[in-house]
Amino acid sequence: MRTYIGRQQAVSVEDFVELALGTPVELWLGAEGETAEERAARLDAARDILADPEYSNLPDDVARIAAEVIEAHAPELFNVVPLVRPTGRRLSFRKGAAA
């Protein structure tokens, strides 16, 4: 099955997220080993994008996408198994004189 966003095909999860948001994921998350200058430039670009009216709904879109992913994968994400308390013998301490 092929997935298209607009006229672009999403081949991987990263492609899907990038096409859905309209910006590369690395712009928001950063890249491993980036320098302080690269980080400052990336954050500047992100601020410029958020200031553009075309992307004014981007934070809401990201929250919606995150909620949809959590909902779709909730069983795996929240694989919680209740712990059973062991039912051991209770020791009773009695006061009194020994015979």
Q: What is the structure's pLDDT at 34?
A: 92
- Characterise 24 by phi-psi region: left (phi > 0), alpha (psi -120 to 50), beta (else): beta
Q: What is the structure's pLDDT at 38?
A: 94
- Segment 55-75 shows an average pLDDT of 82
**Residue 99 scores a pLDDT above 70:** no
Q: How far apart are the first and last CA of the chain?
A: 83
- Residues 73/67, Cβ–Cβ less than 8 Å: no
- CA distance linking residue 67 with residue 80, whole number of Å: 19
* DSSP symbol at 5: E
* DSSP symbol at 31: -
